[in-house]
């Protein structure tokens, strides 16, 4: 049986395409049932996040699984599949398994090593399991993927260092305030991409009050609404500076948004309260002399960039460690998968040999006439020894072959040569290139 993965992600499709193929959580049970009902689909899981939509199916034929997955995507999302082909990738068996493990480990994410995707992988599996669209192979695959994701994060430092400037700014604020951002008031100046990311990270880290100010008040309102914050007008900054504990600024202004005199005036109203400024704009928004004021800490983008670059090296090293872990886990999964195909063949072969042995023993003993119990035991032992020695090498070789891409071929050959019950129709590993993992990305 093949494992086929079909989908798109942030590398292959822009957001305007990804959003059209996104699956709302409340609609997933119905979508899973529709996909499972497609011809040739034996089991399925749908992984849908802001950066990817991927369908994993098990099927008897790779082409059938791919066709069913693509047809379902086009139909469910009401898009012409021909218009999607340039954005989609398809992977089969070994490549599909490795890809899922890399996704769970955070190696295929926009931010290397990000940890949110592991929870999303777990949620996707739980949804499919509860809906009843998984099977033995998918259950084992996804449980192992979750284990791989946890193992990578436990044994490497891949998720312990920040990679984006916005995220680094928030992590820096957490460090300065000893991890306690709850109850802090944060003023975000600007409503562009970096400011938006910073504001969202702040909410994720537990900040209860986020004030958003921008030259365009409407954009400030839009950003504040999306995160549950409060929009403030730029000409009223003094009032809100007096309330803020942390100020993060990133605008496209060509001049300073905040000057030393302005901040000094505000500081006079609360001299004993520390105030942190993080300037991630280029050109800078915050006059450098502000950092000289008592109780004020000022960091600019160069300070954060050094943190990001250092942490990127750490994550890249961790990613190399993670790839080694994933390779071992992929091999372990296919040892299990191979055993599903080979073990029934070995059992059937032994049963066939035992049936022949019993029949021939009975016939030989009848022809020999009266035999003592000792003579019968010697003859039976001789027959068993011949059978065991004859089967020893084929069984050992078949078990070893189960660990290779050609294991299923050896099993099929034995089935045909000895007229054993065929595992073909329900076998877990497909014919031809199944264990070789066809497909491309």
Say how far apart CA 102 and CA 341 lie, in whole Å. 26
HSE-CB at 227 with a 13 A cutoff on CA atoms is 29
Q: Which residues contact 3 (CB under 8 A, 6 or more apart)?
A: 56, 57, 58, 92, 93, 96, 97, 137, 138, 141
Say how far apart CA 279 and CA 299 lie, in whole Å. 6
Place of tokens 């000893």: 178
Report which secondary-structure segment, H or E, holds 139.
helix 136-155
Grouping H, G, I as helix, E, B as strand and the rest as coil, residue 9 is strand
CA angle 394, 397, 400 (to 5 degrees): 150
Say how far apart CA 288 and CA 50 lie, in whole Å. 37
Annotated catalytic residue 50: yes
Closest CA to 258 of 237, 298, 282, 286: 286
Closest CA to 230 of 239, 298, 252: 239
Say how far apart CA 336 and CA 362 lie, in whole Å. 39
Say how far apart CA 405 and CA 411 lie, in whole Å. 12
Identify the bridge partners of residue 247 per DSSP, sorted by sequence position: 187, 277
Number of residues that make up the chain: 441
N- to C-terminal Cα distance for the chain? Answer: 21
Catalytic residue among 44, 50, 77, 365: 50
Neighbour-count burial of 426, counting CB atoms closer than 10 A to its CB (0-12 exposed, 13-18 middle, 19+ buried): exposed
Say how far apart CA 419 and CA 353 lie, in whole Å. 12
The values of phi and psi at residue 178, to 5°, are 55, 40
Cβ count within 10 A of residue 246: 26
Cβ distance 2 to 93 under 8 Å? Answer: yes
Say how far apart CA 279 and CA 288 lie, in whole Å. 10
308 token code pair: 């990001």
Which residues have a catalytic role annotated?
Answer: 50
């Amino acid at each position: 049986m093949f494992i086929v993965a079909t989908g798109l992600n942030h590398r292959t499709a822009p957001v305007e395409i990804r959003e059209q193929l996104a699956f709302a959580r409340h609609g997933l049970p119905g979508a899973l049932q529709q996909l499972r009902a497609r011809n040739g689909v034996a089991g399925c899981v749908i992984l849908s996040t802001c950066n990817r939509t991927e369908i994993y199916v098990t099927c008897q034929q790779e082409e059938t699984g791919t066709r069913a997955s693509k047809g379902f995507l086009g139909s469910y999302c009401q898009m012409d599949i021909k218009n999607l082909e340039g954005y989609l990738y398809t992977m089969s068996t070994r490549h599909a398994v490795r890809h899922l493990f890399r996704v769970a480990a955070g190696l295929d994410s926009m931010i290397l090593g990000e940890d949110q995707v592991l929870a999303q992988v777990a949620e996707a599996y739980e949804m499919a399991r509860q809906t009843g669209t998984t099977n033995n192979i998918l259950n084992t695959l996804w449980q192992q993927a979750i284990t791989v994701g946890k193992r990578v994060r436990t044994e490497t430092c891949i998720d312990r260092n920040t990679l984006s400037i916005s995220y680094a700014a928030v992590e820096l604020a957490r460090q300065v305030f000893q991890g306690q951002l709850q109850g802090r008031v944060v003023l975000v100046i600007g409503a562009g991409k970096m400011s938006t990311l910073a504001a969202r990270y702040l909410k994720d880290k537990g900040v209860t009050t986020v004030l958003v100010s921008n030259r365009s008040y409407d954009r400030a309102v839009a950003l504040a609404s999306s995160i549950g914050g409060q929009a403030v007008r730029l000409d009223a900054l003094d009032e809100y500076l007096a309330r803020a504990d942390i100020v993060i600024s990133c605008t496209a202004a060509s001049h300073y948004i905040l000057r030393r005199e302005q901040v000094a005036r505000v500081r006079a109203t609360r001299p004993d309260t520390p105030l942190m400024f993080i300037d991630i704009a280029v050109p800078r928004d915050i006059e450098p002399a502000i950092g000289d004021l008592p109780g004020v800490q000022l960091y600019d983008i160069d300070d954060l960039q050094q943190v990001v670059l250092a942490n990127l090296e750490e994550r890249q090293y961790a990613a190399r460690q993670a790839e080694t872990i994933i390779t071992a886990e992929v091999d372990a999964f296919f040892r299990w998968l191979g055993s599903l195909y080979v073990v029934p063949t070995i059992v059937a072969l032994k049963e066939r040999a035992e049936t022949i042995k019993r029949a021939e023993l009975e016939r030989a003993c009848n022809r020999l006439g009266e035999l003592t119990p000792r003579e019968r035991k010697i003859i039976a032992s001789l027959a068993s020894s011949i059978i065991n020695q004859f089967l020893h090498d084929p069984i050992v070789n078949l078990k070893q072959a189960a660990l290779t891409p050609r294991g299923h071929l050896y099993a099929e050959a034995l089935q045909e040569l000895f007229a054993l019950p065929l595992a073909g129709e329900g076998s877990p590993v497909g014919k031809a290139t199944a264990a070789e993992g066809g497909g491309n990305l």
